[in-house]
Chain A
């Protein structure tokens, strides 16, 4: 049983560019959440997708957008990249109604903006 998978694992982009990160949830999970983890910090909630809609959003600008597909996989898009967007981006999948007790994280995508 595959866990949560993210791609790519590492990415280098230039300021102003756009990036798309991908996440496939654990089998049986229907909810995907995205977090940003800067170096030395705890993960910060970006948003959560359920039933192909954004269900909740954290304190991130509109440059951060996402999508969920019918197979529950998800994408995170970041436009107009800033140096401060350099971070580990984590995807967590869970089952709706589980209160996050079944939330599992993917291995993350390390984004470096130069």
Chain B
């Protein structure tokens, strides 16, 4: 069973600041990593995925992957109140058929 660990938070940042969300995973053989955003009572929405070591940027979001440390992070620049949600880290299975999710980190952006 793969394990994905996230700090449950809550994490609070002021509007305009950088929010940093972290995730570690247990299976060194994991290949692909995903970040989802989930608003209260809603379904997860894909923010981005990353395969390769290093950074991947998409607008205000940057995913960072360090396979040697088995660590994935998500940075949100210029945080907005609308970014307030739970952020789920997910690791893909070897077969690519299922996600292993962390418990999520609750983020609150304070206006």
> Interface on A for B, CB 8 Å cutoff?
33, 35, 40-45, 48, 55-56, 58-59, 88, 90, 92, 97-101, 103-108, 110
Contacts and interface: CB of A to CB of B under 8 A. Distances in A.
Interface residues of B, number: 25
Contacts of B95: 56
Given A58-B98, A98-B96, A104-B46, 19 more contacts: A33-B97, A40-B103, A41-B104, A42-B4, A42-B88, A42-B103, A45-B98, A45-B100, A48-B97, A55-B97, A90-B44, A97-B96, A99-B96, A100-B96, A100-B97, A105-B43, A105-B45, A107-B43, A108-B43
B103 A43 contact: no
A56 B97 contact: yes
A92 B43 CA distance: 10
Contacts of B49: 101
Contacts of A48: 97-98
Contacts of A42: 4, 88, 90, 101-104
